[in-house]
Amino acid sequence: MKSIESIEEWNQLTNNGNVIALFTAGWCPDCRIIEPVLPEIEAKYPEYTFLEVDRDQFIDLCAENDIFGIPSFLAYKDGKESGRFVSKDRKTKEEIMTFINGLPR
């Protein structure tokens, strides 16, 4: 999973192709719980570019996208938001995969 380093990088990556962004933070225990399953999820969905966005580093980006709880996921297709799985609740591998399976192709 690629970690975003700048807003410019965010804009470039989310404007091209299929992207799933994970909003997270180092201090978030629910974020740490899903970390072990993320490589498996990435491998199952090679048609997506997976990005990691540090909530503390990009708080303005979170506010712009109404991300007030983490871990949260936003999906983009060619620059437009195509889905969101946003809440402060812990997410399971099954819930994340159900979210991705429900995205428009």
Q: Which of 19, 28, 34, 70 is catalytic?
A: 28
Q: Is residue 15 a contact partner of residue 79, using CB atoms and an 8 Å limit? A: yes
* Residue 12, φ and ψ in degrees, nearest 5: -65, -45
CA distances from 81 to 36, 40, 92 (A): 26, 24, 22
Euclidean distance between CA atoms 50 and 82, whole angstroms: 14
* Catalytic (active site) residue 62: no
CATH number for region 2-101:
3.40.30.10
CA distances from 93 to 34, 72, 77, 79 (A): 7, 13, 22, 26
Euclidean distance between CA atoms 75 and 73, whole angstroms: 7
pLDDT by residue for the chain (105 residues), tens only, comes to: 999 999 999 999 999 889 999 999 999 999 999 999 999 999 999 999 999 999 999 999 999 999 989 999 999 998 999 999 998 888 999 999 999 999 998
Q: Which of 4, 31, 62, 96 is catalytic?
A: 31
Question: Tens digits of per-residue pLDDT, 77-97?
Answer: 989 999 999 988 889 999 999
Q: Domain residue spans in the chain?
A: 2-101
